[in-house]
Amino acid sequence: MVLTAGKLAIFDVMDRATGQYLFSKDLGLQNLVVAIDPKTGKKTTNPALEPVSGKALMLCPSSGGARSWPTTALDPQSHIVYVPMAETCTDYTWTAKPPEQVAKGGLDMAYPVRRPPNSDGKFGRLEAIDLITKKPVWTVRQRASMSSSVLGLGTGVVFAGSSDRFFHAYDAKTGKVLWQTRLAASPSSSPITYVVNGEQYVAVVVGGGGAFDGAARPFTPEIDSPAPGMSVVVFKLGKN
């Protein structure tokens, strides 16, 4: 299979040899698409969310996306994909402008972030999806939004960072946090792993901002935002 997902966190899955559409998996954080054709994958959008000049409409996710550039990790043995997401929405407003005004530049769309309906105050989400059963294996939700890509290791561990500056190692089978440490800024990049002289390392860039780094900032004032600056942090993995 080959799979891809945009900001709506809807995965489209195809046969990698032929390109034939197989299925879609909606991770449940959007309200724009109301139907997906099971044979073609064609999506039908909610007509009530078509822009109306001057009228605010609630759209989920927010402009940052439920899933954005932070990459997923895929275990080719278990067929499980690990997805970092943000649970936010927006009250977007389109303002009609004449062509000459549009040509001068500027935005005709406002999209302030808002809490999802019935939010419990948790905005970060890491979910493991079985591509065979098409069902979640586990879900970790937390107040701090996710801020980094997910890195998977063949040892049954996945790494991911969040906007509260924590870098976590999760059990790939259960989602249990095996280890975590707090860094000088949020891990807002794509972690990598490499081996030197038989020793394995994990490296991540912290600071600098990212797609999810400020997703829920307005709703989590207790989470501090360090001054701008970037650094590379490297961890040496143990033998056990």
The CATH number of whichever domain residue 216 belongs to comes to: 2.140.10.10
Using a pLDDT cut of 70, give the percent of the chain over it.
Answer: 98
pLDDT digits (tens, 9 = 90+) for 51-82: 999 999 999 999 989 999 899 999 988 999 99
Q: What is the 3-state secondary structure (H, E, C) of 37-79?
A: CCCCCCEEECHHHCCCCCCEEEECCCCCCCCCCCCCEEECCCC
d(CA 115, CA 117): 6
Q: Give the per-residue pLDDT at 105.
A: 81
How far is it between the farthest Cα atoms of the chain?
A: 65
pLDDT at residue 212 greater than cutoff 80: no
The C-alpha atoms of residue 146 and residue 165 are separated, in whole angstroms, by 10
Q: Which domain holds residue 216?
A: 2-236
**Is residue 145 predicted with pLDDT exceeding 80?**
yes
Question: For residue 240, what pLDDT is reported?
Answer: 60
Q: Number of folded domains in the chain?
A: 1
